[in-house]
Chains A and B, each alone.
Chain A
Amino acid sequence: MYPASMYLYGLPLRSYNGVNGEKIATALAAMSHFANPLATPSQLYQRASASSLPQDLHEAIFVATQCLTQAAGRLLQLPQSVTAQANVLLARYWVVDSPMAHEFSDVSAATIYLVSKLGPIPRSPRDVSNVYAYLASSNSALFSTDEPPKNDPRAYYQSEADYYAFQQRMLSLEARILQSLSFDTHVALPHPLAITYLQTLDFLSQPRTTVSLRVIQYLNTSLLSPQMLYVTHQPHALATAAIYNAARDLGAKMPEHEWWEVFDVDREELGFLVVAMRSVEGWMQKLKDEIPTFGSEMLKRGMIEDELKKRGLPVDGGDKAAVDEEDEVMRMMDSR
């Protein structure tokens, strides 16, 4: 069977057969647009073992911050293509740097600011600041509490000093994130690829909007997965797994043989992703059960530190804490 993706990328099969070496070289170079840098197994291992943070807290931080980023993207009226890139950049950054090094909402703000700045719809630091102040406030619609949110602008009013301090933190994080990722801001999203794949599959003989919507829902949900699917798997695999899941949900009839191989995904990878995508919902439920405050207020670094102390675990890195203390003093001086 021929990898049909060569066709999908608009390449003549002839060049795939090696008739034209130069052509295939340029074609493959062009295809790097469809690929993402991934975390290596050793990076993932390091991240899990070197950090003093227990697995469940790691996951809670990841999920909460990715949800926050999505909410901010909506309020900033950014298209999902931009917000999703911010989600991916955030996940990449936390592969390289510890989540405990900075306040989570600041990292989220810095990624969304950076991505929007490089894209077609830039947002000003002031807009970003306002949105995050609102989301963190008691008025925030992001967190469901028992009583309906009362609209009290005083809760998210920001003084000039607050704004300045936020902007300073965000901009220094912007530089830090870029340096940590060696300035590689390219994110290939699986969404357009998934639609192209659906077209070749004739939309699984289902209504186009229904099946496309379900596929996109799976892809967007995976952005929140604490398994960090977007930094461990390439977009084509994510797209194929989302289609597989959508097909099962809708009861669509799929080809008998291994159709995913046409999209260059092997059985094992597909199996892993299919399960991972389906498990995000349960994961969220588990987090809500285990951490009572999860989803009812903004997760802050201080809360994680308190939790660590409660469990009798060391709070991350003495070195970093020293730097942070310094930051804290600076911040206090700034806000005065």
Chain B
Amino acid sequence: MSTKPKSRWANTEEDAELEAKLKREKEEKRRKKAEKAQKLEDEERRRKAAATAAAAAATQQANGANNNLNDDDNDNDPSRPSKRRKLTPEPASSSSSTAAPTKLLRFDPPSSSSLAPSRSVDHYDKLNDIEEGTYGFVARATELATGRVVAIKRLKLEPGDPNGLPVTGLREIQILKRCRHRNVVKLEEVVVGNDVGKPDNSIFLVLEFVEHDLKSILDDMPEPFLSSEVKRLLLQLASGVAYLHDNYILHRDLKTSNLLLNNRGLLKIADFGMARYVGEPAPKLTQLVVTLWYRSPELLLGTRSYGAAVDMWSVGCIFGELIAREPLLQGSNEADQISKIFELCGFPTEESWPSFRRLPNARSLRLPKQSPLATGSVIRAKFPNLTTAGASLLNALLALDPDKRPSAKEMLEHEYFRQDPKPKPESLFPTFPSKAGQERRRRHEPDAPVRGQAVALGDVDFSGIFQGRNKEEKGAGFTLRMV
């Protein structure tokens, strides 16, 4: 990527360079003109080529016919038709022969998916850095030919990786290429660095540029979102998630910093570095997913099979965060996270989560003798301003038992969104000063887990838990002990 910013207020030292650039641009223009002419020519050639191809096909057919089974009924032989010959006899007294030809439905692949090499990153000019994520760097850039502003994400490559290109990055590309939804960030193209042929050549994802991320808005806004705004944001989030789940995609890292919001109130789900397809046959899934604060209890307890419900838990956490303006469950490590969850949602019981005892890490939990007081959820009390319907939705999303959480589609139909105040239309959303436009985004939250990290609760730092034990006993009336 060319790192020199294209300055509009060039200094005198840069004049020479600017001149060179102008010259290059002029040449670029001239080249484009030539290209246009070339295209016309190509069109002509293609037509000729098609004719040649057709002729070739005819010869091939003739070739192929030699090897075919002999058919008694020559009139009805499909294996050696001349070019225009009908393959099956028309019914003799057919009236359909006079009818207009049937209009066939064609599903042309999107124009973007033709067999062509990736373009070079030189078609873009970097403007400024936005942030560094777990799986790559993001910068704001402009396409030289059109002036369009985009976000460019550079995939982190490990040059010596014995497994080649990182599978997470390839999955992100694979998934984003197939996704087309207004609430999912759009991948425009994938461009590469200039070391073509080298295995460690840089790979860049060109994404549509969205002004804000929800996390920095929440951090900076003086007043919390109105409940009509919260509803619209949640509806958009749920409809994006429903689209992903419909297409057998788990996002596995939903959090406010991965939700983008543009100045027209449109929310977009971004960062698919953790996402993957889950179809048939069900692949082996890693438990090392989702940023700690948004991670569901079944993942923390080490489940070997999970599904769309892990995303719905994260949606619940985001719901709470939109209201409270700070992350709902800020655990310092896995053990602390699960104790925070139980504090908020109550302890799991055989009724509320029948299978939880069988999860691998559940054995290391020591829960207090069943007292009815501690098993209830305190969500209602924690969000006194939420309506009954709102609290019931939040409660449902933060159900400990994954099977009890609503699907994204069910969430869209929830009573909460039909009650007053109605969801605010996107066009009436306030605008926010853009952070991404100028500065780096601030990050003060745990990162998404990195592959290969330890997963068991038993591997976390014990001292922290024992130090916090007294407090925990007071707060939630239970102890969490590793055995």
- Give A residues with C-beta under 8 Å from B: 1, 3, 5-6, 28-45, 92, 95-96, 113, 117-122, 124-125, 167-168, 170-172, 174-176, 178-186, 227, 231, 234, 236, 244, 248, 256-258, 261, 264-267, 270-272, 274-276, 278-279, 281-283, 285, 323
Q: Is the CB of B67 within 8 A of A281?
A: yes
With A120-B281, A244-B78, A264-B104 in contact, do A45 and B199 touch (Cβ < 8 Å)? no
Considering the chains assembled together, what is the distance between the CA atoms of A325 and B79 in angstroms? 47
Q: Is the CB of A174 within 8 A of B164?
A: yes
> Which residues from chain A contact B114 at a C-beta distance below 8 Å?
37-38, 40
Q: Is the CB of A39 within 8 A of B115?
A: yes
Considering the chains assembled together, what is the distance between the CA atoms of A266 and B63 in angstroms? 22
> Which residues from chain B contact A118 at a C-beta distance below 8 Å?
167, 170-171, 174
Considering the chains assembled together, what is the distance between the CA atoms of A113 and B164 in angstroms? 10
> Which residues from chain A contact B108 at a C-beta distance below 8 Å?
35
Considering the chains assembled together, what is the distance between the CA atoms of A323 and B196 in angstroms? 12
Q: Is the CB of B115 within 8 A of A183?
A: no
12 more CB-based (< 8 A) A-B contacts, given A95-B115, A120-B279: A32-B107, A32-B110, A33-B178, A37-B115, A42-B42, A92-B115, A117-B163, A120-B282, A179-B118, A227-B60, A275-B81, A282-B63
> Which residues from chain A contact B164 at a C-beta distance below 8 Å?
113, 117, 125, 170-171, 174-175
> Which residues from chain A contact B197 at a C-beta distance below 8 Å?
172, 175-176, 323
Q: Is the CB of A279 within 8 A of B68?
A: yes
Closest chain A residue to B198 by CB distance? A172
> Which residues from chain B contact A30 at a C-beta distance below 8 Å?
247
Interface with A: B45-53, B302-310, B360-368, B450-458, which one?
A: B45-53
Nearest Cβ in chain A — how far from B244, in angstroms? Answer: 13
> Which residues from chain A contact B170 at a C-beta distance below 8 Å?
117-118, 178, 183, 185
Q: Is the CB of A36 within 8 A of B167?
A: no
> Which residues from chain B contact A271 at a C-beta distance below 8 Å?
78, 81, 85, 87
8 interchain pairs, CB-CB under 8 A: A34-B107, A41-B46, A42-B49, A182-B118, A182-B190, A234-B107, A264-B105, A271-B87
With A174-B165, A285-B67 in contact, do A96 and B115 touch (Cβ < 8 Å)? yes
B12 at the interface (CB under 8 A from A): no
Q: Is the CB of B117 within 8 A of A278?
A: no
Among B81-113, those with CB < 8 Å from A are: 81, 85-88, 91, 96, 102-110, 113
> Which residues from chain B contact A182 at a C-beta distance below 8 Å?
116-119, 189-190
Closest chain B residue to A281 by CB distance? B67
Nearest Cβ in chain A — how far from B83, in angstroms? Answer: 8
B323 at the interface (CB under 8 A from A): no
Q: Is the CB of A272 within 8 A of B61?
A: yes
> Which residues from chain B contact A5 at a C-beta distance below 8 Å?
105
> Which residues from chain A contact B247 at a C-beta distance below 8 Å?
30
Nearest Cβ in chain B — how far from A96, in angstroms? Answer: 6
With A1-B102, A183-B173, A282-B67 in contact, do A45 and B109 touch (Cβ < 8 Å)? no
> Which residues from chain B contact A257 at a C-beta distance below 8 Å?
91, 96
Considering the chains assembled together, what is the distance between the CA atoms of A126 and B79 in angstroms? 45
Closest chain B residue to A173 by CB distance? B199
With A185-B170, A186-B174, A279-B64 in contact, do A231 and B115 touch (Cβ < 8 Å)? yes
Chain B window 434-468, contacts with chain A (Cβ cutoff 8 Å), 1 for yes, 0 for no: 00000000000000000000000000000000000
With A41-B50, A45-B45 in contact, do A275 and B107 touch (Cβ < 8 Å)? no
Nearest Cβ in chain B — how far from A238, in angstroms? Answer: 14
B147 at the interface (CB under 8 A from A): no
With A32-B110, A41-B46, A41-B49 in contact, do A184 and B177 touch (Cβ < 8 Å)? yes
Considering the chains assembled together, what is the distance between the CA atoms of A1 and B60 in angstroms? 32
Q: Is the CB of A276 within 8 A of B64?
A: yes
Q: Is the CB of A171 within 8 A of B199?
A: yes
Nearest Cβ in chain B — how far from A305, in angstroms? Answer: 20
Contact of A172 among B49, B57, B67, B199 (CB under 8 A): B199
> Which residues from chain B contact A256 at a C-beta distance below 8 Å?
88, 91
Most buried by A among B65, B78, B81: B78
> Which residues from chain A contact B53 at a C-beta distance below 8 Å?
41, 44-45
Q: Is the CB of A274 within 8 A of B78?
A: yes
Considering the chains assembled together, what is the distance between the CA atoms of A41 and B190 in angstroms? 24
Most buried by A among B164, B189, B203: B164
> Which residues from chain B contact A248 at a C-beta distance below 8 Å?
78
> Which residues from chain B contact A40 at a C-beta distance below 8 Å?
46, 114-115
B192 at the interface (CB under 8 A from A): yes
B5 at the interface (CB under 8 A from A): no
Most buried by B among A125, A258, A323: A258
B201 at the interface (CB under 8 A from A): yes
Nearest Cβ in chain A — how far from B368, in angstroms? Answer: 41
Nearest Cβ in chain B — how far from A236, in angstroms? Answer: 8
